[in-house]
Amino acid sequence: MLLARALRRRREIAVRLALGISRSRLVRLLVTESVLLAGVAAVAALGAAAWGGALLRTLLLPEVSWAVSPLHWRVLSYALVAAIAAGVIAGLFPALQARATDLTNALKAGTRESGGHRSRLRRDHIPRG
């Protein structure tokens, strides 16, 4: 999903580059954003796993006594490492793609991708009598 979103953000990246952001700062921005999103997703997934595991244990095996914490430190550390790795990988692809961006073509393509529609705020309104 992050890679598909990055493809849609080509025009935004081109505008940032045209405004003068350095390519190293753009890489840091994209990687930081994707690592943050991957971290939030990992926390949500761990929460769902803990809740779902507890629900399944109580529904399927209520007579068994379970440990207090369903998540082991190894599971948490693996999820953390996997989230960081996924975020870095997902952030590097758009950043590397941005390095080879032709600003003129990317900015022109952005107007074609929007369908050529003008904003409602920019339309000329003709008063009707």
Where do the structural domains in the chain lie, given as residue ranges? Answer: 31-60+71-106
Stated length of the chain: 129
Give phi and psi for 18, each to the nearest 5.
-65, -30
For residue range 75-114, what is the model confidence (pLDDT) as tens digits? Answer: 889 999 999 999 898 888 877 776 666 666 666 665 555 5
- pLDDT at res. 97: 73
Least confident of 49-53, 65-69, 92-96: 65-69
**Residues 68, 84: contact at Cβ < 8 Å?**
no
Terminal CA-CA length for the chain: 50
